[in-house]
Homo-oligomer: A and B are copies of this chain.
Amino acid sequence: MNIGQAAAQAGLPAKTIRYYEDIGLVKPARDANGYRTFVANDIHKLTFLAHARALGFSIDDCRDLLALWENTERASADVHRIAQDHLQQIEAKIADLGRMRDTLKTLVRDCAGDDRPDCPILNTLGDQPSP
């Protein structure tokens, strides 16, 4: 299977697959003409990567998860730890964004949004801490 079909199967852009090869996540064989050839196991790995990336795992996490996935001697604790850490990071980011959202919501609500220059958004952003 060529890269185009592999991309369609895995749900990844061909460019991304080439990049994943560059950084050593997959190692497709090559045809006589130099084209990459993807076998079922390659597709399976790419699908795994697509899923893991969709859950927000970093490439480094993906590398580790992939290694664990291929290692039948693994301890699920190792997988659990990676996922748990990642979950915590996501929750921290959600909390950060939630705070931004709350502030922004208030500012947007209080701004008239008309043709006059008065603007609580700019006033707030421009506020100097009292010296």
- Chain A interface residues (CB < 8 Å from chain B): 44, 47-48, 51-52, 54-56, 65, 68-69, 71-77, 79-81, 83-84, 86-87, 90-91, 93-94, 97-98, 100-101, 103-105, 107-108, 111-119, 121-122, 124-129
Contacts and interface: CB of A to CB of B under 8 A. Distances in A.
Nearest to A53: B125
Contacts of A112: 76, 80
How many monomers of this protein are in the complex?
A: 2
Contacts of A117: 71-76
A75 B115 contact: yes
A109 to B, nearest CB: 10
Nearest to A72: B117
Contacts of A114: 75-77
A52 B104 CA distance: 10
Contact of A97 (B68, B94, B107): B94
A87 B108 contact: yes
A51 to B, nearest CB: 5
